[in-house]
Amino acid sequence: MAIPTESARVNPSIVDLVGNTPLIRLRRIERAVPGVELYAKAEWQNPGGSVKDRPALRMIQEGLSSGQLAPGRVILDATSGNTGIAYAMMGAALGFKVELCLPENVTPERKRILRAYGAGLTFTDPLEGSDGAIRMAQRTHESNPAKYFYADQYNNDFNWKAHYDTTGPEIIRQVGARLTHFVAGLGTSGTFVGAGRRLREFNEEIVLASVQPDSPLHGLEGLKHMESAMVPGIYDATLADEDVRVGTEEAYEMTRRLAQEEGLLVGISSGANLAGALKVAGKDAVVVVVFCDGGERYLSERFWEDPPEGASICGTN
């Protein structure tokens, strides 16, 4: 057996592994929707375990290029978990401290991952959701602007541009002209806006479907109910052909189904996105759905256990 050359098997840094995630066909789920092809964009394959590696890397790169992120400065942002994990991983690899503001009720798994990477954590009122974390990050930056590089993922255009430049082109290479639908959830909205804009340029007939919770009080961690939340500055409400609402319990059920029927242990937002995709996909549809992260970050959640009939499994926002 030939020994791989050094250049073939060594990457300069963990950050060089971001992107180029595979598509996985959901053949067993497809059985319930004849004539539809369903493909999951497997974003948990990124080195930090989520779709948020892409914008985190781009925002850090642009901060370095502009000089806003200089040696000695601290990377700061609000997060519901995944972008924070990406910042913490990259900060450790690149030699920057990271401070994060996040709701106190994010899963214990996310807290442990963040602490493992050495990130500083400030917890905010869980009843305020991600909006409370955003307000705390803003106050922290204002208190000492010279100390921080405030990435501000909810209002930073390089968030959506990361997906315009990487996620969208990858999907085009993987599916090409056969693609009829693209489905992604709304948190910061960067994935949907960036990839959606690129796909629209490729083929204006592709149906762009955004997914959000059907209620202000929901258990879909990482997703925003736009009518009741602080709307991200990068969100483009005119882009979606379909804006699909998904309930917490149907997202939980779909997440369990993906584990048991497809062997895919994914996060709650992935289940929500697939539930939304099934609401918009018609006959002869070829659908790409963003699966944002892996289910290991949610194993402490009660929804993994089948609840007794009539029992509530709704989480908190």
Chain CA centroid to CA 136, Å: 21
CA dist., res. 231 & res. 216, Å (int) = 13
Is 269 catalytic? The answer is yes
First to last CA, the chain: 53
Annotated catalytic residue, options 41, 52, 161, 224: 52
Neighbours of 178 (CB within 10 A): 8
For residue 149, the SS3 value is strand
Is 111 catalytic? The answer is no
Chain CA centroid to CA 173, Å: 21
Q: Put the strands of the sheet holding 242-246 in their side by side order.
A: 23-25, 37-42, 286-291, 181-185, 207-213, 242-246
Burial 149-170 (b: 16+ CB within 10 A, else e): bbbbbbebbbbbbbbbbbbbbb
Bridge partners of 198, per DSSP, are none
Chain CA centroid to CA 127, Å: 21
Annotated catalytic residue, options 50, 80, 210, 269: 269
What are the residue numbers of the active site? 52, 269
